[in-house]
Structure 1
Amino acid sequence: MSSYDVVIIGGGPGGYNAAIRAGQLGLKVACVEGRATLGGTCLNVGCMPSKALLHASELYEAAMGHEFANLGIEVKPALNLTQMMKQKDESVAGLTKGIEYLFRKNKVEWIKGWGRIAGPGKVLVRAADGSETALQAKDIVIATGSEPTPLPGVDIDNRRILDSTGALSLPEVPRHLVVIGAGVIGLELGSVWRRLGSQVTVVEYLDRICPGVDVEAGKTLQRSLSKQGIGFLLGSKVTRASSSATGVQLRVEPAAGGEAQLIDADYVLVAIGRRPFTQGLGLETVGLSTDRRGLLANQGHRTEAAGIWVIGDVTSGPMLAHKAEDEAMACIEQIVGKAGEVNYALIPSVIYTRPELASVGKSEEQLKAEGRAYKVGKFPFSANSRAKINHETEGFAKILADAQTDEVLGVHLVGPSVSEMIGEYCVAMEFSASAEDIALTCHPHPTRSEALRQAAMNVEGLATQI
């Protein structure tokens, strides 16, 4: 039996970052991962390939429509979907190979296979050929991630009825794609195929898109996506799907009850969320069990079982790669006696549509529910010089600050490249910055980031740009 200081089950953003940090801190570490490549869902069939297709489809639409022509660029583009998928796969392969390099650099051993706990300090790994290897460790980190949540009555076959993995590798552009779920995955992948020529209809059980985001920001994004041609059926549920060799027929009913309608589509994407992956982990061998949602409880990343830790999608908190990365660092640092910590109040979220939506901290709805007095500063991208020059003026920057102390409590951005700008406020809020602190900080001109400063200035009604 091979012995380690730490064995990590799962090679996604939580697992591989934990393994690398353990190696950096001098621990003997093994990472158990059964996929052919490291990186988990995020790198292989999630965040990274979707961003590759979002980028490519955005450029294609710019060339196909009036955007290039208005800039004086005359082209006659043709879609080569095979090449688009090929460049996506090549980008992903480069990233996964990069993790292998970091493993070698930091002396992390990749144990290829599917791991399960077999009692305190013991992990069994089943390889692809069925053979098993036993590992012993002082500490075990569960980082097995999540999988798409199924929908009763809609059986995913990844031929006509797809999960997010299937929607990343379609062999053709659908004439009509129905997306079930108006969250991040549904809106991003729906945007990809809409840009490439599909009619896209999004069916959402709730009466709004992007559940959990600031309501004003969500409504602004929905208006923009609607103008682009995405159709929305809100307050609706899919109760049945019948697939054939050429398409799918859906039965859609009002969520509150009422007459059903039938919708025909070439393909259907089920994107109603994700659930923790805990099947076959041997949790019972160390006295652990999940809650009704399938989540493992933790206290500072520790489970109730001695020497067993948990990070990422398999435990509480938002199912985001960067949240898993933060937990990975904090978990390993605690294992070696350092003071690792994650500030869950300041984990940003992003929807990579066009325009993008990025948020951190409290929404207006949360502050109202808490009864906390706050001030609002807003600034539209239509008044931002760089955004106007680039013809990307949809959206706004909104800052929520405490009415008495002026501390920034929440930031909600809808607009161009806001995923790259939200980090400024993550840093500011970590240091309990006030809106005035941002308002007094010089920003380069002309940049989109000036909208963030102007919004902070407007908390006191003092914006200066037009």
Structure 2
Amino acid sequence: MKIVVIGGGPGGYVAALKAAILGADVTVVEKGKVGGTCLNVGCIPTKALIASSEALEIINKANKYGFNIEGEVKTDFDAIMNRKQKVVTQLVKGVEFLFESKGVKLVRGCAKLVSKNQIEVSKEDGNKEIIEADKIILATGSVPVVPRLFPYDGKKVITSDEVLSLEKIPQSMIIVGGGPIGCEIGQFFNTLGTKVQIVEMVDHLIPFEDEDVAKQLQRSFKKNKIKFNVKNGIAKVDIKDDKVQAVLQSGKELEAEIMLVCVGRRAYTEGLGLEELGIETERGRVIVNEKMETSIEGIYAIGDIVNSPALAHVGSKEGTVAVENALGKNKKMDYKAVPRCVFTDPEVASVGITEKEAKEQGIEYKIGKFDFRGLGKAKAMDKIEGFVKVVADMQGKIIGAVIIGAHATDLLGEFTLAVHLGLTTEQVGDVIHPHPTLSEAVMEAVHDVEKQSVHSV
């Protein structure tokens, strides 16, 4: 079985490796670097930068832990960016090594569908190659959206693609969009001394998350002098005297050295030949069934080009589902338990439905909650900010959960498993959780659903 995967991002490369493991003859067509947005200009580089800002935070409060660091702590931005790039480069090479070790062929160039079994690849040298395939998986990803209102030039008005390659720390920055990208990048540069102002149209930051969590994050931002304007939008943007000047819908005026626009991403399907082949789309995204198959039999689509949560781990899972179906199995994609992570400080992590969504869907529910300040481990770490919140139906089944606090993204796995398997608060609460750990907050929050937490006030 010959399978061609178009796109080498977290959806595409996982699909390719899975297909190779299952015995297929696999080719990946990629015009840029393998790893896609996530590895090259997304998840991984931002986490590398955040690791540097976290190190600076620890240094700045070293006296709390019994260390007296004398003298000024100097930031070497070049070193920070070089470290980030080194991490990215190592991981890109790692994916390429996995391709080689598992027999996945990598073809460089831009792909276009010629038929349901043929792909035309245009290479940098101008040559073209036709690749035959029994099955095709489309995984071409997405690119940042920049509305016409913004005079995007890649220098003063930039996207997440350019912000990760800045050559110096900007003195000031306006961030349009208070979602995960805006909050993560904003907090990173604020730690390095940039004056940050975030503009978000919804009435709170991280608009798709629990409102209690958003309020907690906003308190943290205020404490760290990160300014934000919620329930507001951009009315006008100009670049004058080497500054970006913005007028908000409220009439408020902002000025900064740089403006970062992160208001969403759109599917990247230009030149792919979808219309010519008759592959159905809706609002720019490819329509697929629960097996990830498009309207053309034998052609599958995954990741940011389909109408599903635009998350790397979702694309990876869709890739494995598509491959297994392409090879004759009967797998269905299930989005019931998709973990969502925001790598701010404190971190935010959630799965399932929020309390607000439960209300909107008319679901009768119960809430359990536990603050990290009640944990010995959190106090020992000096990380008492945040809480765990559980949403359960009236039979006790866990249907959603959110964590804000230290290592929230690492702690979420237990709740993701619970939502996926349909576990109850009693089942999760019966598990012995190690002491002293932050995971005890999960146990206590689950117990609190039935008001059985021994440590809740």
Q: Same fold (TM over 0.5)?
A: yes
Aligned pairs (5 A) from 1:101-180: 101-180=97-176
Q: 325, 331, 343: which is aligned to 1:340? A: 331
Following superposition, the deviation at residue 195 of structure 1 comes to: 0.6
RMSD: 1.3
| Residue number in structure 2 paired with 1:194 | 190
Separation of aligned partners in 2, 1:396 and 1:281 = 46
1:437 to 2:431 alignment: no
Separation of aligned partners in 2, 1:72 and 1:82 = 30
| Residue number in structure 1 paired with 2:297 | 306
**Deviation readout 1:151-176 (Å, 9 max, x if unpaired):** 22212222111100111121221121
Separation of aligned partners in 2, 1:393 and 1:88 = 29
Contact 1:176-1:266 within 8 A present in 2 as well = yes
Q: Pick which of 235-244 and 272-281 moved more.
A: 235-244
1:387 to 2:387 alignment: no
**Deviation readout 1:262-318 (Å, 9 max, x if unpaired):** 2110111001011111111101221124222x1111002011112211000000111
**Deviation readout 1:183-204 (Å, 9 max, x if unpaired):** 0111011111001111110001
Please give the TM-score of this superposition, normalised by the length of structure 1.
Answer: 0.95
Aligned pairs (5 A) from 1:201-220: 201-220=197-216
| Residue number in structure 2 paired with 1:12 | 9
Q: Pick which of 237-246 and 215-224 moved more.
A: 237-246
Amino acid at match of 2:428: I
Separation of aligned partners in 1, 2:385 and 2:226 = 16
| Residue number in structure 1 paired with 2:407 | 417
Separation of aligned partners in 2, 1:156 and 1:423 = 39
Do the aligned partners of residues 70 and 374 (structure 1) sit closer, same or farther apart at CA in structure 2, a change above 3 Å counting?
same
Separation of aligned partners in 2, 1:161 and 1:126 = 31
Following superposition, the deviation at residue 62 of structure 1 comes to: 2.6
Following superposition, the deviation at residue 131 of structure 1 comes to: 1.4
Contact 1:203-1:234 within 8 A present in 2 as well = yes
Contact 2:117-2:133 within 8 A present in 1 as well = yes
Amino acid at match of 1:61: E
| Residue number in structure 2 paired with 1:251 | 247
Q: 338, 356, 363: which is aligned to 2:354? A: 363
1:454 to 2:444 alignment: yes
Following superposition, the deviation at residue 225 of structure 1 comes to: 1.7
Q: 397, 411, 428: which is aligned to 1:407? A: 397
1:275 to 2:239 alignment: no
Separation of aligned partners in 1, 2:256 and 2:325 = 51
Following superposition, the deviation at residue 245 of structure 1 comes to: 6.5
Separation of aligned partners in 1, 2:345 and 2:285 = 33
Amino acid at match of 2:63: A
Structure 1: runs of 5 or more not aligned: 255-259
Aligned pairs (5 A) from 1:372-383: 372-383=363-374
1:239 to 2:235 alignment: yes
Separation of aligned partners in 1, 2:451 and 2:303 = 41
Following superposition, the deviation at residue 30 of structure 1 comes to: 0.6
Separation of aligned partners in 2, 1:287 and 1:343 = 26
Separation of aligned partners in 1, 2:132 and 2:276 = 14
Q: Secondary structure at the match of 2:94?
A: helix
Following superposition, the deviation at residue 69 of structure 1 comes to: 1.6
Following superposition, the deviation at residue 132 of structure 1 comes to: 1.0
1:31 to 2:21 alignment: no
Do the aligned partners of residues 213 and 10 (structure 1) sit closer, same or farther apart at CA in structure 2, a change above 3 Å counting?
same
**Deviation readout 1:98-122 (Å, 9 max, x if unpaired):** 1011101111000101111112211
Contact 2:367-2:391 within 8 A present in 1 as well = yes
1:261 to 2:252 alignment: yes
1:463 to 2:435 alignment: no
Amino acid at match of 1:461: K
Separation of aligned partners in 2, 1:233 and 1:446 = 39
Separation of aligned partners in 1, 2:238 and 2:264 = 21
Q: Pick which of 68-77 and 144-153 moved more.
A: 68-77
1:71 to 2:37 alignment: no
Please give the TM-score of this superposition, normalised by the length of structure 2.
Answer: 0.97
Q: Secondary structure at the match of 2:336?
A: helix
Following superposition, the deviation at residue 93 of structure 1 comes to: 0.5
Amino acid at match of 2:121: V
Amino acid at match of 1:235: K
Separation of aligned partners in 1, 2:147 and 2:218 = 24
Following superposition, the deviation at residue 59 of structure 1 comes to: 1.0
Separation of aligned partners in 2, 1:306 and 1:218 = 43
- Percentage of identical aligned residues: 35
1:181 to 2:156 alignment: no
Structure 2: runs of 5 or more not aligned: none
Following superposition, the deviation at residue 366 of structure 1 comes to: 1.1
Contact 1:329-1:340 within 8 A present in 2 as well = no
